[in-house]
Structures are given as structure tokens and as C-alpha cells.
Amino acid sequence: TSHGYKSALFMSGQLKYAAAADLLKNRGLDTIEDSDSLKCGDDDAAAMAIYAHLGDDCTAAAVSRWIDDRGKEKFFLWVWFTNPHSPYFVRARARIGGTLGSLEQHMAAFAETDAAIGVLRNKLKSKGLLDQTVFVIVGDHGEAFGEHGQLNHGTSVFEEQVHVPLLFSGGNVVASHRKMDAIGSMVDLAPSILDVAGISAPAGWQG
């Protein structure tokens, strides 16, 4: 906020999980929305009963409306999509094989999240903002589907559970195919985002 950005967090899931809502209080976010406040449609209750969160398509629609309301303001958006998180939200369940929580459902959930990201890119493009917007796409953990006898996540430190995707794209980000030997982690994410925005990280930050 002190650098002139409006800021918001939109999450398909519930921020009360793991006390995230308490952690985010007084962190300078102008808008915070999660499945307790987002409204998607008549099947909200059914979706919450099965998945404990709403679909990423619903979240993307809410974010699009927020972008429309910003006018020419600079903004920082944290969009926390949760379709690919166990038990893997898939709105078009009839289209997929496998059972609830299966690899097939996981990949179908990713496809729907990819479409939700596309909605946001198209919204920015329609407003002439795409070329000056930096997209950062990151996962918070991997997922196991039988490798090393494990399922889901949080049960081991094997590669399939701890390796996460990270992509910076757009704005003043320069494409690079360099491979770095240094091991990065989530603690490096926030200062990296500030660096791309030309803002110095606070002295007390790690990473």
C-alpha cells in the first residue's frame, strides 16, 4: 500500500484453515475473500460438502470483477487457487475417469485451474494491462500418487512432494534458460517479487 498498490487476496478455499485468516490480519491487504464470502451459484453448498472449497472458476470471476473496479490503479493480486489440492475439485466430473482423489481427477482439476488463469489473462488483455503485468505462478507443495508408497503430501521429503513449480512471466521479466545450482525455497519468493517491481525488500526479510 505504501508504494501505491491496491492489494487483494482471493482464495477458493477457507482462510480459517490452519489459522491463515489470523496470520493475514493487519498485513495491509485492502480486500480478502475466500469461500466463506465468495458466491458462485446454486451448487455452492454441494461443492463445499465434497471439497471444502469452491471452484477456481468462481474465484477467477470474482477477481475479474475486482480488476474491473480498479480503473488505472496499480494493484497486487494474490489469487490462491485450490482445485488441484486434495480432494481435487473438478466441476465437470462426468468428463473424467478415475475416482475422487485419483491422479486422473488431479490432472482434470489442473486443467480447470489452467482455464481460470486464462480468464484472468484475458481480462488483463481486454483492459490493456497484460504487457505490464507480471504473473507469478507457484505451488506450495508437490503430490504423491504411489511413489515411494506415499499418497497426497506432507508425509515425506521425497522429490514428488517437495518440488514445486515456479514461473515468472510478463512485464519486465526477461526469459532465461539458465540452470542455477542454488536451492531456492518459498522464503525467496516475496523478495524476488519486490525485486521485479523495483522495490527494496525490508531489511528483516529472509530470502
| β strands within the chain, DSSP E | 5-11, 31-33, 74-80, 135-138, 144-145, 151-152, 166-169
pLDDT at 97: 61
pLDDT at 95: 57
The Cα–Cα gap between 47 and 173 comes to: 37
Q: Is the pLDDT of residue 127 over 70?
A: yes
User: For residue range 171-187, what is the model confidence (pLDDT) as tens digits?
Assistant: 878 777 777 788 888 89
**pTM of the predicted model, to two decimals?**
0.89
